[in-house]
Amino acid sequence: MRLRSEAVLTRIVADVDALDGLALRLLLPVIAGLLTHVAVFVVLGWLVGWPVAWAIFIGYVPIAALVLWRLGRRGLAPSEAAETTAQTLRRGLIDMIRDRESLILRGRIGAREEALCETDRELRHAARQLDAHERDAGFLLVVLVTLITGMALAAGGWLVTGTGESAAIAAIGVFVALALAETVLPLRRGFAELGRMAGAARRIGGFAVTAGTPRDAPSSAMPDAGPPGAPVLTVRTPDFGFALKPSDAVAITGPSGAGKTTLLLQIAGLVQIAGAGDGQPHEDAPEIAVFGRPPSDWDEMAFRGLVTMVPQRSALLRGTIRENLALAADATDAEMWAALAAADLHQTIDERGGLDARLGESGAGLSGGQARRLCLARAVLKRPRLLLLDEPTEGLDDETSHLVLFGIRRALPDTAIVAALHRGSGHPVFGQRYALRIPPRI
């Protein structure tokens, strides 16, 4: 299952944190340690004697590097496994809390809890492996410090007896050997987490390559839409089933708690279908295919080029109307005005100063209905092949709702539309209507 929505954000935050550790726990300490050893080597050679300087330098730099390299290699797998499992556990807990009512009604709460406990056991196992490797490396480094201190003591004794150097000067090497342990021992945690950092670097690199792809302008070609002749959307639930072709529109109705929003989120690939993660979807879970393929099988960017969802609570940014619309596509002013007209918002925006009119935090300055229509206009600019609308007419009067739905249809004549509604499902735009029911209590 590819990461989407809040899971993407959670993963990116964790990966950025891991890459911060690359600099703070690994690169900077290693560079500082090497510079310290070189400086100490030169000063010891000049002040005490080259035998002591060489004994400490050769003992620390190559041998400590070998121990830490061994720790990094052994910790690659458990470190990355611990990070991946921790993310899985975190997402699983969030999903269980969010879907707890549905899980209770379907009698699946116990199975989900057991699955999370198993994930927690896997996390603890990986953490124990990683801790064991770190302890082994720590033991080897302590032994190394002891041996180097003994070598420094022996070299200092040879200087005292063989060259007549003072004991105080010769003892400097011993104290320096002990002090230099502080440049090596703290590096264990950084090398132990090398697998976590490497995994984060691969994922961030993948995001960067994807993010470097130019966004589609409204008039640009759409991504590959799967097998030729495949329906835009196929949905089968215990209550109904349908297949949408381009230009079809369907209204999903039902009481609060029936799962209308959840179904839209599943179609959009933002919520995993129950049981799909372990390859055994629940018997009452919906079957969903977008152009013949489940949402989880699509490449993230290609899928987002095909499918757009406008949730009940859409986000607007502090900034101008133009900046908020530009989040959808690199559109011209004419295309932005056309999208605003489709949402019956063009007159309002014109009266407020046009596309350069500024909004406050979270779209402050617009009413709830106006903010909703601005989000709908932004969705129109993306020109998706499949548009998912969650309560698109909420906060709008009947006349405005009528104009907005017709405007979206005219602006996107070839787009398949699925809308979840409490009211307005009888609008002529919708050629099909289906109702979800609340599952019976167990």
Tell me the C-alpha distance between 378 and 374, whole Å: 6
At 300-316, the pLDDT tens digits run 788 888 999 888 877 78
Cα torsion through 224, 225, 228, 233, rounded to 10: 170
pLDDT digits (tens, 9 = 90+) for 275-299: 454 445 555 677 888 998 888 888 8
Q: CB 435: neighbour CB atoms within 10 A?
A: 14
Range 423-430, long-range pairs (CB < 8 A, 24+ positions): 423/393, 424/251, 424/393, 425/251, 425/253, 427/251, 427/401, 427/402, 429/249, 429/405, 430/249, 430/250, 430/251
Between the CA atoms of 206, 207, 208 and 212, what dihedral angle is there, to the nearest 10 degrees? 110
Q: Find all residues with CB under 8 Å of 437, minimum gap 6, and list them.
A: 239, 254, 255, 258
Cite the DSSP H helix spans in 343-436. Answer: 346-351, 368-382, 398-411
| Per-residue pLDDT tens listing for the chain (442 residues) | 444 455 566 667 676 777 776 777 788 888 988 999 899 889 888 888 788 888 888 888 899 999 999 998 898 888 888 888 887 887 778 777 766 665 665 567 787 788 889 989 999 999 899 999 999 999 999 999 999 888 888 887 887 787 776 777 778 888 888 888 888 888 888 888 887 787 777 766 654 444 444 444 444 444 455 555 678 898 888 778 889 999 899 998 887 767 788 888 888 888 776 545 444 555 567 788 899 888 888 887 888 889 998 888 777 888 888 888 888 888 899 999 999 999 999 999 988 889 888 888 777 888 888 888 899 999 999 999 999 998 888 878 888 888 999 999 999 999 999 998 877 778 888 988 888 776 544 4
Question: Measured between alpha carbons, how far is 233 from 384 in angstroms, rounded to an integer?
Answer: 13
Rounded Cα gap, residues 258 and 261, in angstroms: 9
> What residues form DSSP beta bridges with 386?
307, 416
**What are the structural domains of the chain?**
6-211 (1.20.1560.10), 233-435 (3.40.50.300)
Q: Which residues of 232-254 are buried (b: 16+ CB within 10 A; e: fewer)?
A: bbbbebebbebbbeeebbbbbbb
- State the pLDDT at residue 410: 93
Cα atoms in the Cβ-side hemisphere of radius 13 Å centred on 335: 18
| pLDDT at residue 105, rounded to an integer | 59
pTM of the predicted structure, to 2 decimals: 0.55
Structure tokens at 400: 């405005």
- pLDDT at 177 (0 to 100): 85
Identify the pLDDT of residue 218.
41
CA atoms within 13 A of residue 11's CA, in its CB half-sphere: 19
Q: What is the distance between the terminal CA atoms of the chain, rounded to a whole angstrom? A: 30
| Residue closest to 400 by CA, chosen among 438, 347, 343, 350 | 343
Task: Determine the Cα–Cα distance for residues 141 and 59; give it in Å rounded to an integer.
Answer: 11
